[in-house]
Amino acid sequence: MLELRALGAGYGKVPVLFDVSLRVERGEAVALLGSNNAGKTTLLRAISGLVRTTSGAILLDGADITGFAYERIVRLGVAHIPEGRHVFPEMTVEDNLLVGATRLAGGDRRRRLREIFEQFPLLEQLRRRAAGSLSGGQQQTMVIARALMSRPALLLADEPSVGLSPVAIDALFDVFAALRRDGTTIVLAEQNAAFSLDLCDRGYVLQRGRITLADDGAQLRSAAGALHEAYLA
């Protein structure tokens, strides 16, 4: 479904990614692992069209989307959950969710909202609450649901567990596990290796903008030394 071929990307004249190649099959959950400065966020932003690519190619369902604008990539079925939650705190939960469905017609937006409430019953209970009054875990669940409002084929999630309590992380894991069961294709960038590898089929380890290790989840869990080195780099 998604393929990167020798991708390079960065900010202005500062390169961040170097010769990154990976693939994601439809229905898979794939982890991006690495330290804070490894390039995980830049990689997701490059896929979404938010960062300029300098070399290589990005293919979505076999079509080259390299250089496409963010809005065009969203229309192709890619949803990006950025790090930091980014809620509209004064707006209600319901209105925050509707922001994620702007590309749908009015009737479709309301129909999709009903589907999301069936999928996330807690959010229906909180629908009239201001988003800023929710706990961190509740806000993160809402942000994921907002991304799903557009019915994406591919979900890119950047550090969703950052700043959450252990209880909220457990609840977040359940949300992602349910998305997996529903067949949503996920690319998950996380520093929390245990969270990622328990959830994902396969993983790629990034160090300073390069992929240094790629394997299935079980093998990566057993590669403790290599992962430790990646997180210290």
Concatenating the DSSP letter of every residue in 41-106 gives: HHHHHHHHTSS-EEEEEEEETTEE-TT--HHHHHHTTEEEE-TT----TTSBHHHHHHHTTTTS-H
pLDDT for 8 equals 98
Which residues in the chain belong to E strands, given as ranges? 2-11, 14-24, 29-33, 53-60, 63-64, 78-81, 154-158, 185-190, 202-207, 210-216
pLDDT for 191 equals 83
Its pTM stands at: 0.90
- Which range (39-53, 167-181, 214-228) has the least confidence? 214-228
Residue at token pair 């994620």: 100
pLDDT digits (tens, 9 = 90+) for 184-219: 999 999 888 888 989 999 999 999 999 999 988 878
Q: Which residues contact 7 (CB under 8 A, 6 or more apart)?
A: 17, 19, 20, 21, 43, 46, 53, 55, 56, 57, 58
Residue at token pair 């496409």: 68
pLDDT for 213 equals 92
- Looking at every residue in the chain, the average pLDDT score rounds to 92
Reported as a pLDDT band with limits 50, 70 and 90, residue 223 is: confident
Burial 68-102 (b: 16+ CB within 10 A, else e): beeeebbeebbbbbbeebebeeeebbbebbbebbe
pLDDT digits (tens, 9 = 90+) for 96-147: 999 998 777 778 999 999 999 999 999 999 999 999 999 999 999 999 999 9
**Mean local confidence (pLDDT), 82-91:** 90
The second-level CATH assignment, the architecture, of 2-232 is 3-Layer(aba) Sandwich (3.40)
Order across the sheet with 210-216: list the strands: 78-81, 154-158, 185-190, 29-33, 202-207, 210-216
CA of 157: how far to CAs of 114, 224, 228, in Å? 23, 24, 22
**Mean local confidence (pLDDT), 63-68:** 97
